Chains A and B, each alone.
Chain A
Amino acid sequence: MTIVSGKTEVRQRLQPGWSGMLRKIWDHRADYAYVVPAIAVMLIVIAYPIYYTIELSFFNTPPGLQLRDKIFVGFDNYTAILTSEVFWKVTWNTLVWTFVSTFFSFVLGFAAALALHRDFIGRGVLRAILIIPWVISAVAASYIWKWIYHSDFGIIGAILVEFGLADRPPNFIDSVGTVLPSLIVVNIWREFPFAMIMMMAGLQTVPDQLLRAAKVDGANAWQRFWHVTFPHLRNVSTVTILLLAVANFNSFIIPWIMTGGGPSNASHIWITHIYELAFGRQRWGVASAYSVLLFLILMTLGYFYVRALSGNERKDDSA
């Protein structure tokens, strides 16, 4: 947040002094009426929860007790988390989950957008079909894939057996080694359409004249992509990758519905772990401390997000 306010201050330095600032606010008082409803809702539902989470992270809340009986413990929750084995396991899972999901969602989505950019018969239908996984509920998606991965009657297992690649259907989501990759496949299935839409929208902003000029100058397809198309898409790509990374980091439904974090924490990621700590084991204090750590990580990501976005803003202003 400090980064953001620092940026605004730079712009406001044009009119220095508190009285000038106040007068400016007063002059624009009518403008605020338009934003007040949005800001008011945000404050109630966002500022208060953030404050409360931070407060709670310094307290011990024994299960079975009322929340008002909490005991102040200082930084104990934080040291307990950072020294626990589960924390590092879950963190590793989260990193794998986030990086692999984001990378493949983006690459597949970008490639699909490029392949769909040229007009051909059935393009609209194909595009619509490819977007559907992103539109349907993650709960529905989880159940569909849970059935596909089913250890006795799943279709993938059946195909493998049919072609003689396996003696019996493999246990995709019930074994420690395969559960995380299996869930990542589901997540990519749901996320790549988002990257595809964003990159399709971005591709429309690449000037045709430049591509044709490059072609006339003898650039091949790869050179045209690398030297003309891609530089134009740098901003969109940054925003897309950041949004994907944040969404994946914050995933909950797919692991929660499909495995609940099991077997033996192999598919627990931060959010499912926090949820289980808070609502499963009623350890609100530890869960809140986890949330605060998460918050710090996300603020770091958020810094880059805002930078990428304000890169767009500056271009807007100069245009």
Chain B
Amino acid sequence: MSTIAETASRGQTRRRMRIDGWRWGGRVFLAFMLLYTALPMIWMLLTSIKSGFAAMQLPPQWWPDQPTLASYQKLLDPQNSVGQDFLRFFWNSLFVSTATTILSVIVAVPAAYAFSRFTFPGRNFLFFAVLLRNMFPAVIFLVPLFILMRAIGLVNTHGSLVLTYLTFGLPLAIWLLKGFYDNIPVQLEQAARIDGATRLQAFILIVMPLSAPGIIATAIYSFIGAWNEYIYAYTFLSKNEQLTLPVGIQRFFSENTTDFPGLMAASFMMSVPVVVLFLVLQRYFVRALTEGAVKH
């Protein structure tokens, strides 16, 4: 609908044949933002295909003279110790993020549905209490959580991470999903109830399929959050074989401070899964924010 309006207004501008200063300003600005955003990433890629010697030159090789994939081979080769570590970190991250994602969907879906549909005493209080969790930094929770995890025997396990990630991902997950449920007409469920479905059946058979885009968006958000999380993983895990990617890479490169091509290659490969996931599913994500967070 908006595209039609936009095409119409574009037609008008063209008819008037007037150079629109705002539009040119917008283009220049977008070009600037593109450079600001993309140049660091391009430089990361260019550095990652240089040799360690080629990366450390002044003036720099703007374009690598002898591009090499050596850094990537080293990181992905299970034969040497660097590759073994990197692949293990990668699997650890994948496991923790996937487990977090599945659990947060399971927990957030019923909660968001209840906040959207039912008016029980304390509903608003609980909803805002859940949202307030977003306000507090990880550091406040680190010490007590560390002690708590020690008490329930989860220190140095991936379980401690999944449990914590679950809680910091939940508020936004619930908020986004609530927006989706608010938009699903109650009449659909009422019709199902009249046809003899129980409330749970109506929820699972009618509401769940309709809110699939919201669930996908929530899942992406949880996954990306867990994949990129650093501070809890840095504090809770000490054994090398359990580290997740961000911490693993940081540990590794605090020992090998000059291997910048390797560091850039590792940063690139750490970013690939989340960027691909985001690009493939971004329309759900943007839509979830529109409906969940910004709707009037």
Interface size class of B (residues with CB under 8 A): 35 or more
Count of A-B contacts with CB under 8 A?
313
Known: A130-B34, A302-B132. A45 touches B141 (CB 8 A): yes
Please state if A52 and B144 are interface contacts (CB–CB under 8 Å): yes
Chain B: minimal CB distance from A56 (Å):
7
Known: A41-B107, A42-B170. A4 touches B130 (CB 8 A): no
A7 to B43 alpha-carbon distance, docked (Å): 52
Please state if A252 and B235 are interface contacts (CB–CB under 8 Å): no
Please state if A235 and B267 are interface contacts (CB–CB under 8 Å): no
Task: List, in ascending order, chain B residues with CB within 8 A of A128's CB.
Answer: 279, 282
B196 within 8 Å of A (CB atoms)? no
A204 within 8 Å of B (CB atoms)? yes
B155 within 8 Å of A (CB atoms)? no
Task: List, in ascending order, chain B residues with CB within 8 A of A46's CB.
Answer: 133, 136, 141, 167
Task: List, in ascending order, chain B residues with CB within 8 A of A205's CB.
Answer: 290, 294-296
Interface of A is mostly: helix
Chain A 150-206 residues near chain B, CB threshold 8 A: 150, 152-153, 155, 158, 161-162, 169, 189, 192-193, 197-198, 200-202, 204-205
A288 within 8 Å of B (CB atoms)? yes
Please state if B274 and A135 are interface contacts (CB–CB under 8 Å): yes
B194 within 8 Å of A (CB atoms)? no
Please state if A38 and B130 are interface contacts (CB–CB under 8 Å): yes
A118 to B5 alpha-carbon distance, docked (Å): 10
Q: Which of B66-74, B77-85, B184-192, B246-254 contacts A (4 or more CB under 8 A)?
A: B246-254
Please state if B37 and A53 are interface contacts (CB–CB under 8 Å): no
Please state if A112 and B30 are interface contacts (CB–CB under 8 Å): yes
A264 within 8 Å of B (CB atoms)? no
- Among residues of B, the one whose C-beta sits closest to the C-beta of A299 is B135
Partner of A274, one of B119, B139, B271: B139
Task: List, in ascending order, chain A residues with CB within 8 A of B107's CB.
Answer: 37-38, 41
Partner of B55, one of A145, A153, A287, A312: A153
Please state if B275 and A132 are interface contacts (CB–CB under 8 Å): yes
Known: A24-B121, A139-B230, A162-B59. A305 touches B135 (CB 8 A): yes
Chain B: minimal CB distance from A193 (Å):
8
Chain B 14-48 residues near chain A, CB threshold 8 A: 20, 22-23, 26-27, 29-30, 33-34, 36-38, 40-41, 43-44, 47
Task: List, in ascending order, chain A residues with CB within 8 A of B120's CB.
Answer: 24-25, 28, 31-32
Chain B: minimal CB distance from A258 (Å):
11
Chain B: minimal CB distance from A154 (Å):
9
Known: A126-B34, A153-B60. A118 touches B6 (CB 8 A): yes
A281 within 8 Å of B (CB atoms)? no
A228 within 8 Å of B (CB atoms)? no
Known: A108-B33, A145-B40. A49 touches B131 (CB 8 A): no
Please state if A50 and B37 are interface contacts (CB–CB under 8 Å): no
Chain B: minimal CB distance from A268 (Å):
13
Task: List, in ascending order, chain B residues with CB within 8 A of A28's CB.
Answer: 118-121
Q: CB-defined interface of B48-60 with A at 8 Å, one 1/0 digit per residue? A: 0000000111111
Please state if A137 and B246 are interface contacts (CB–CB under 8 Å): yes
B227 within 8 Å of A (CB atoms)? yes
Q: CB-defined interface of B273-285 with A at 8 Å, one 1/0 digit per residue? A: 0110011001000
Partner of A139, one of B44, B148, B250: B250
Task: List, in ascending order, chain B residues with CB within 8 A of A85's CB.
Answer: none
Known: A153-B56, A291-B140. A126 touches B125 (CB 8 A): no
A319 to B7 alpha-carbon distance, docked (Å): 30
Q: CB-defined interface of B257-296 with A at 8 Å, one 1/0 digit per residue? A: 0001001100110110011001100100010011001111
Please state if A208 and B5 are interface contacts (CB–CB under 8 Å): yes
Chain A: minimal CB distance from B189 (Å):
14
Please state if B121 and A25 are interface contacts (CB–CB under 8 Å): yes
- Among residues of B, the one whose C-beta sits closest to the C-beta of A215 is B9
Please state if A35 and B30 are interface contacts (CB–CB under 8 Å): no
Known: A37-B110, A114-B26, A139-B246. A288 touches B143 (CB 8 A): yes
Chain A 253-311 residues near chain B, CB threshold 8 A: 253, 257, 271, 274-275, 278-279, 284, 287-288, 291, 294-295, 298-299, 301-302, 305-306, 309-310
Please state if A45 and B163 are interface contacts (CB–CB under 8 Å): yes
In the complex, 11 of the A-B residue pairs with CB atoms within 8 angstroms, ordered by the A residue number, are: A8-B121, A28-B120, A39-B126, A41-B107, A137-B227, A137-B270, A139-B228, A139-B230, A153-B60, A236-B294, A301-B135
List 10 additional contacts besides A45-B141, A201-B293; criterion CB under 8 Å: A21-B121, A28-B118, A38-B170, A46-B136, A115-B30, A118-B23, A129-B34, A136-B274, A140-B249, A144-B43
